[in-house]
């Protein structure tokens, strides 16, 4: 057997374990998954080539955590209608699936705590990801950590980063990223987010207004090819929001802020050391918008 279609959820269990030739799976008709039903059930099965959930709209608490982790042959994953992910929903679901090349969540708008923690961590073949409708990113710690070939990232509608610590840690192939509508980074929202992204040369926050406590602590630690960064609309900063943000960014020479928040920036811990950027100069620009 090379293809399996499951029109009813109840017949899912047991099929793969008995048939090592099964490579393409489509869970047709399933709209909701919850309660550890997939917990580690298909992990480490290297004969799986593709997984599709064409009708799935909701993954609730613990629905698919660890479901397909370490499936080395898995190259295609599809969630065309998925709108919400609950607590631990797809936590570590595809971790170390090194053959996956691209991921899209075209309808996803919300997720719970740890909803996508480590979901694609270690997917070293992954080159592109897209979240075209996601407004608030929570539960995305370490989601793409160690995805060394990741080059294209799209969050066009993201306005709030509330849980993205370490999300792109050690994504060494990542060169540029933009958050065109991001206005708020909450407390620890992007803590260590781009740690060790040594290929990163450009990042843009054109609408960012508020950074909470520790919101960007260690965010760009070790980004050795980042040369300049600007915060043209930033007006509110929390305690330690730039703590060691640019440590070991050895090529960073310019950090730009609006002139009217100069006193707030200068009052932050780490300002005297340029927030870790030993080779940089901090500028407060008149009319920077």
CA distance 127 to 189: 24
Burial environment of residue 51 by CB neighbours within 10 A (0 to 12, 13 to 18, 19 or more): buried
CA-based nearest residue to 55, from 76, 83, 75 = 83
- In the numeric block, which tokens belong to residue 76? 């295609």
pTM of the model: 0.90
- Give the separation between CA 142 and CA 155, rounded to whole angstroms: 16
Cα–Cα dist 57/72, whole Å: 26
Dihedral sign computed on CA atoms, order 244, 245, 251, 257: negative
- d(CA 59, CA 85) in angstroms, rounded, equals 5
Residue 93 CA, chain-centre distance (Å), reads: 14
Helix, coil or strand: residue 276: helix
Which residues 6+ apart lie within 8 Å of 159 measured at CB?
A: 135, 136, 181, 182, 183, 184
Give the pLDDT of residue 34: 80
pLDDT tens, N- to C-terminus, the chain (289 residues): 344 444 443 333 334 443 455 578 888 888 998 876 665 556 677 778 888 899 999 998 888 888 889 999 899 899 999 999 999 999 999 999 999 998 889 999 999 899 999 999 999 999 999 999 999 999 999 999 999 999 989 899 999 999 999 999 999 999 999 999 999 999 999 999 999 999 999 999 999 999 999 999 999 999 999 999 999 999 999 999 999 999 999 999 999 999 999 999 999 999 999 999 999 999 999 865 5
CA triplet 225, 229, 230: central angle to 5 degrees?
A: 170
Q: Are 137 and 112 in contact (CB under 8 A)?
A: no
Q: Cβ(199)–Cβ(227) under 8 Å? A: no
Whole-number Å distance between alpha carbons of 99 and 43: 14
Give the pLDDT of residue 6.
45
What does the alpha-carbon distance between residue 60 and residue 124 come to, in Å, rounded to a whole number?
27
Query: Residues for the chain: how many in total?
Result: 289
Say which residues have a Cβ less than 8 Å from residue 194's Cβ, sequence separation at least 6. 168, 169, 171, 174, 200, 203, 219, 220, 223
Residues paired with 177 in a beta bridge: 203
Angle at 142 between CA 140 and CA 148, to 5 degrees: 125
Per-residue model confidence (pLDDT) at position 9: 38
| Sheet bearing 110-111, strands edge to edge | 32-33, 58-59, 84-85, 110-111
In DSSP notation, 165-177 reads TTTTTT-TT--EE
């Amino acid at each position: 057997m090379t293809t399996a279609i499951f029109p009813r959820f109840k017949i899912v269990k047991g099929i793969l374990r008995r048939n090592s030739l099964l490579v393409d799976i489509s869970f047709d008709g399933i709209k909701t998954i919850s309660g550890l039903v997939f917990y580690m059930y298909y992990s480490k099965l290297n004969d799986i080539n593709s997984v599709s959930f064409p009708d799935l709209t909701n993954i609730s608490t613990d629905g698919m955590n660890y479901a397909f982790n370490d499936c080395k042959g898995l190259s295609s994953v599809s969630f065309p209608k998925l709108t919400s992910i609950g607590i631990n929903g797809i936590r570590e679901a595809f971790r170390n699936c090194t053959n996956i090349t691209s991921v899209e969540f075209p309808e996803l708008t919300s997720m719970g705590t740890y909803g996508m923690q480590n979901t694609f961590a270690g997917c070293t073949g992954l080159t592109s990801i897209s979240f075209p409708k996601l407004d608030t990113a929570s539960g995305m710690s370490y989601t793409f950590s160690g995805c060394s070939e990741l080059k294209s990232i799209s969050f066009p509608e993201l306005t709030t980063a509330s849980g993205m610590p370490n999300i792109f840690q050690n994504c060494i192939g990542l060169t540029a990223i933009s958050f065109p509508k991001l206005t708020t980074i909450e407390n620890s929202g992007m803590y260590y987010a781009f740690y060790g992204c040594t290929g990163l040369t450009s990042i843009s926050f054109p609408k960012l207004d508020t950074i909470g406590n520790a919101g960007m602590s260690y965010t760009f630690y070790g980004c050795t090819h980042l040369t300049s960064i600007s915060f043209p609309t930033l007006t509110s900063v929390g305690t330690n929001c730039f703590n060691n943000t640019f440590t070991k960014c050895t090529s960073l020479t310019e950090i730009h802020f609006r002139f009217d928040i100069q006193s707030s920036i200068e009052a932050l811990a780490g300002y005297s050391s340029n927030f870790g950027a030993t080779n940089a100069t901090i500028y407060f620009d008149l009319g920077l918008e």
